[in-house]
Amino acid sequence: MSLTGKVCVITGAARGLGRACAVTFAEAGADLLLVDIARDLAEIPYPLGSYDQLAHTASLCEQAGAATVITAADVRDSRQCLLAVDEALDRFGTIDVLVNNAGIASPSGKIAHEITEQEWSLMLDIDLSGAWRMMKAVAPIMVQRRSGSVINVSSTAGTVGYRHFASYVAAKHGLIGLSKAAALDYAPMRVRVNALCPGSVRDDPLVDGRMLGEIARSLDVPVDEHEQIFVRDQPMNTLIDPSDIANAALWLASDGSRQVTGSVLTVDGGFTAR
């Protein structure tokens, strides 16, 4: 699953799954544009990735031999998405792979009618529309080259429902729908679009992961017990490692999946098989 000679753009790259994908892609030979908002938002009740974390991701990729560019960009802003893509083109001349990983899991923890208009709009603007904006910026490049892979990081919440997470579930279901429709739009141009659906991913300190902990907080699950509690729902009796998701993304990015488009790849230890 080599990515030698390929240029990959990864959003939400400061930490978590974004960092795991970035390092794995670098080790596979890719050059990288790493994108993150790199600042907190007042509406989100936990710290987002920082610029220092984004720079650390880049240093790890450079240690693996990748040429790496970092940029702070908010996927809610079409102009910032376009400027980020321009940075990749200025440095590398093209883009082969887009990983739409930027996303939030909170504000959540409410039943559907208690979600405010602002909370609903924020979730969809980042988790769904943000992916569309990045696709809108990158797809013309891929179409012109008649080659490319877009990987939209959805969730098991894109395939099933979760109590008290209506806005998150709606956004992640929408991301799967976007992936399927876009796959049909771009198939004649040999540009592939797939959805990758992680299950409960362990908050690995090596990637500064914290998403599962924030989901637990939204559900009032004790922080010191949340991993054991989430494992109870896993048929394979273990949480997913960030590397499991990164390796699945690597396959979707590589030529080994060249006939795969419009697919929904779950990496969830059998959670959605029940």
Phi, psi for 73 (deg, rounded to 5): -150, 145
State the amino acid at position 147 in one-letter form: S
State the amino acid at position 65 in one-letter form: G
Give the span between the Cα atoms of 125 and 264, in whole angstroms.
22
Cβ(44)–Cβ(67) below 8 Å = no
Cβ(106)–Cβ(126) below 8 Å = no
Cβ(144)–Cβ(259) below 8 Å = no
Cβ(95)–Cβ(85) below 8 Å = yes
DSSP string, 90-104: HHHS---EEEE----
C-alpha 35: how far from chain center? 11
Can 186 be counted among the known catalytic residues? no
Cβ(9)–Cβ(138) below 8 Å = yes
State the amino acid at position 188 in one-letter form: P
Distances (CA, A) of 155 to 88, 160, 222: 27, 9, 23
Question: Given the structure tokens 């892609």, which residue do they identify?
Answer: 25
Burial of 262 (0-12, 13-18, 19+ CB in 10 A): middle
Q: Pick from 186, 192, 187, 227: which is nearest to 210 by CA?
A: 227
User: Of 46, 51, 162, 168, which is the active-site residue?
Assistant: 168
Would you please indicate which residues are annotated as catalytic (active-site) residues? 168
